[in-house]
Chains A and B, each alone.
Chain A
Amino acid sequence: MNAKYKVFFEAKIWRLFLFMITLDPAILNRVLKPARYTGNELNSVKKDHATVDVTVALALPDVYEVGMSNLGLKILYQILNNRPDTAAERVYAPWVDMEAEMRAHQIPLFTLESLKPVREFDVVGFSLQYEMSYSNVLNMLDLAGIPVLTAERTEQDPLIVGGGPCTFNAEPAANFFDCFILGEGEEIIEDMVGVVASWKQSGKVDGRVGLLKKLAQIEGMYVPSLYDVTYHADGTVAQVVPNCTEASKVVRKRVVKDLNKVEYATRPVVPYLDIVHDRIMLELFRGCTRGCRFCQAGVLYRPVRERTTETLLKLAHELVDSTGYSEISLTSLSSADYSCLPEVVQSLIDELKNKGVSISLPSLRIDSFSVELAQKLQQVRKSGLTFAPEAGTQRLRDVINKGVTEKNLEDSVRAAFQAGWSSVKLYFMMGLPSETDEDVLGIADLAYRVLDIYKEVKGRRGAKVTISVACFVPKPHTPFQWYGQNMSDEFERKQRLLRAKLGDRNISFNWHDARTSFLEGAFARGDRRLGQVLLTAWKNGARFDGWSEYFKYNVWIEAFAAANIDPHFYATRERNEDEVMPWDHLSSGATKEFLAREYKNALGETLTTDCRRGQCTACGVCPELDVKVIDWGNQA
């Protein structure tokens, strides 16, 4: 074909192709990073919808670069697309510029594979990683032309499903979701597709309610509309009870018993754009039982289950071959705790070095083992090591059960400096239970101590220390779920206190916005009544609340006022020990007694050991869910 005609022909095709969603080049030429919306990435799976029984849109309510970095969705994408009867596609939140274009040109939210409108799918599954992404869920539903409220949806609308850590207190989002998946998705997602397929084949018997009642019978599936919530006069929850026989009193999370036997994301979609985690993610194990008392993930993903070394090496090779990535990140909640880490690392280095593949560890434990390992991984750029002491004094680290001593930190930092690193990043929280000003100032003392150690090692100044201090937000299903979060002005006072003491120009100090943390706190431990606040705030323009440039605090505060709800009731109020929590009917397997015991241990500054290799701490997960710890170091 003559060159000129070829161009013309292609241009025509493009127009026709896009006619389905009426997206035109003028729009793509105007928006930032248009490749966020055009798909065609390697390993993306395009199926003819006429040949499948169920279509699923997998969504993450944030921008493409964030959404594409989520490991859980990559796994579900592969599991669903492995089924001949199912097509799974991806959709993320359009950035504000694209949203404006879509609204101006009546372009409905579409998936990246088929460019079909999301509302034509059978199921839309949202991964809920962070409470501050709820407004984006509502916005995406609205852009899709799907009623945001469950109660207003008909049989023609998709089933709206939520997954991810936020579902363990999904109550603030309960009015917007048809159902939630608690726990790990590998197995339950297939159960769900099966139910949807047979409901469709049966001619959608009993309509939407019929479907929801069938779904409610799947272990780990929570259908909020099948539960009624009553409240005491003081505003606390009286009870949450099923309103039909299909819903069980307590919904327990799903857990994969053996990670070696489930599918992994070995053929992930490889983006063109540079995304947040633009590398192979090799998940060593799931769960972490170090027992840090602030940590929600530590409870939700119990128990520890390791993959075998053989499985990991096999997965690594498959991933390099299917993606062409030249970096593998060994991910887990605490990767350095993997029992056979030195062997795995050595094998990966030996087998993949000649392919130009490097290995990295996202998080380091505070010990010299981790520093040696980092050295072995030849992170030679010495860009900086990151440690998380979490609190500034030994007393407070004991309160949170962070089993790390000042000496551990000193030894690690010294080892790092001796190995050639010169910059260290330290993560802390402020506002932890029982915290005093002395604890806050302890953060500064540690920062100075690190500078001194560098001088001891190198004989001169020159270290760079970055101190990042988050505002502690108590989360459900943790020992601190009863604790009243610090007020915003208290956080700000502590930030000023600390900043005044961090005068050295070799120390840089980052802190979190206290007001964002305040709202996160209200939604983290909120109940169903917050649905009204969320709806109002979204209608008044709230979206991308996790992005500081778009966070509109006043919109939220006005939405609380309009609903006559005090956010302090949820965020900063200390709960009574016997109070019914809005999430008590949603079980991670860990008992409330265990959490309460741990809260008492915290205030008594008593440490609890890791059950992974030590004594069982009777959290309840293993007997409750019929699972067990899998740690290959234990078996040897």
Chain B
Amino acid sequence: MAKLRFEITKGEEIRYISHLDYASAIERAIIRAKLSAAYSEGFNPHMKISFASALAVGVTSQAEYMDLELLEEIELPQVVKRLVGTLPPGIQVKKAKYVTGKAPALMAIVNLATYDVIVPFAGAAEFDAVAESIRQFNEAGEVLFVRHTPKGRKEIEVKQYMAKPVVANVKEQAVHMQIEIKITAGGSIKPGEILEVLVNMFGLKVERDSALINRTGLYVTDAKNQVAPIDM
């Protein structure tokens, strides 16, 4: 058994596919690349592949991470070359390396996600109003958001997941924001949900439906360091 870790992207071409669709597209690419992936035992075997964090429909990413188990070790440049040849448009391999079999699951170690959000103004651009909305959000002690899912409604305190204050700039009729979100064992919050809070509760006047969200990084952080899972 050999365990590989990849840094890959989800580009514009496939912005609107779900995480599950993204994962099966990669599985099919691995089969086409004939990489002899390992499968789980049982009646319904699954490829031994795992991702750091699910990405929502409509969100792109320049840094997704996945681990893949192979039945045998293949030279790294070979692996990358074959996989690059079979991945669909919109998925690029940026980095790859072998990790030890005992490396903890990506899902368990990644605890920070960073995003860029570009969203056009609703009406005239008003920089001061934007700055004020963002300041109030950043300074608020506690912000409650209600998440509606098919399973029901759930009240979430948003600020506990903010790793840093939201940074906002205005450029060409659009607000550009950088948002850093903690991923915890108890849950997290989506950048789209923060945007919803900013619009509905802090008076940010933007066309929320038109937001373009891009994940810029996933990290493992502690008090001192912030490192991408591929660079550990």
Contacts and interface: CB of A to CB of B under 8 A. Distances in A.
A7 B14 CA distance: 15
A19 interface: no
A29 interface: yes
A11 B118 contact: yes
A13 B12 contact: yes
A478 to B, nearest CB: 40
A40 B89 contact: yes
A199 interface: no
A320 B31 CA distance: 8
A541 interface: no
A34 B15 CA distance: 9
Contacts of B17: 35, 272-273
Contacts of B30: 324
A326 B62 contact: no
A40 B118 contact: no
B31 A8 contact: no
A11 B39 contact: no
A26 B174 CA distance: 14
Contact of A26 (B89, B90, B207): B207
Contacts of B24: 272
B21 A35 contact: yes
B21 A25 contact: no
A323 B25 CA distance: 10
A323 B89 CA distance: 14
From A6, A30, A35, A381, name the one whose CB has the most chain B CB atoms within 10 angstroms: A35
Interface string B17-54: 11011101101111110000101000111010000000
A272 B25 contact: yes
A28 B16 contact: yes
Interface stretch (B134-142, B143-151, B180-188, B211-219): B211-219
Contacts of A13: 12
A604 to B, nearest CB: 49
A402 B92 CA distance: 54
Nearest to A27: B209
A40 B37 CA distance: 26
Given A4-B176, A272-B25, A11 B14 contact: no
Interface in B187-232: 207, 209-212, 214, 216
Contacts of B89: 40, 42
A3 B216 CA distance: 7
B44 A14 contact: no
B85 to A, nearest CB: 12
A24 interface: yes
Given A40-B89, A324-B29, A14 B62 contact: no
Contacts of B62: 3, 6-7
B90 A40 contact: yes
Interface string A17-40: 000000011111110001101101
A380 B45 CA distance: 12
B32 A321 contact: yes
Contacts of A42: 25, 28, 88-89
Contacts of B39: 356
**Contact residues of B: prevailing secondary structure:** mixed
Contacts, number: 108
Interface in A18-67: 24-30, 34-35, 37-38, 40-42
A322 interface: yes
Given A10-B12, A381-B43, A324 B27 contact: yes
In terms of DSSP, what is the predominant structure of the interface of chain A? helix
A510 B32 CA distance: 40
B71 to A, nearest CB: 10
A270 interface: yes
B64 interface: no
B44 A326 contact: no
B69 interface: no
B59 to A, nearest CB: 10
B126 interface: no
A152 interface: no
A29 B31 contact: no
B116 A7 contact: yes
B60 to A, nearest CB: 7
Contact of A40 (B29, B31, B88): B88
Nearest to A278: B24
A24 B119 CA distance: 12
Nearest to A380: B43
A26 B31 CA distance: 35
Nearest to A382: B43
B133 interface: no
Contacts of A6: 62
B57 interface: yes
A40 B60 CA distance: 15
Contacts of B21: 35, 272-274
A28 B88 CA distance: 21
A13 B12 CA distance: 9
Contacts of A26: 207, 209-210
A407 interface: no
Contacts of B25: 42, 270, 272
A380 B25 CA distance: 25
A7 B63 CA distance: 13
Among A4, A13, A24, the most chain B Cβ lie within 10 Å of the Cβ of A4
Interface in A313-328: 320-326
Contacts of A505: none
Contact of B16 (A7, A38, A274): A38
A4 B31 CA distance: 34
Given A14-B12, A40-B14, A381-B44, A29 B58 contact: yes
A6 B25 CA distance: 24
Closest 5 CB pairs of A and B: A324-B28, A34-B16, A26-B209, A324-B31, A26-B210
Given A4-B176, A42-B88, A272-B25, 17 more contacts: A6-B62, A10-B11, A14-B15, A25-B15, A25-B210, A29-B210, A35-B18, A38-B16, A270-B28, A272-B17, A272-B21, A272-B88, A322-B32, A324-B27, A325-B31, A355-B31, A381-B43
18 contacts: A4-B116, A4-B176, A7-B116, A7-B212, A7-B214, A8-B171, A8-B176, A10-B60, A25-B58, A25-B212, A34-B57, A37-B16, A270-B88, A274-B21, A320-B31, A323-B32, A325-B28, A380-B43
Interface of A: 3-4, 6-8, 10-11, 13-14, 24-30, 34-35, 37-38, 40-42, 270, 272-274, 320-326, 355-356, 380-381
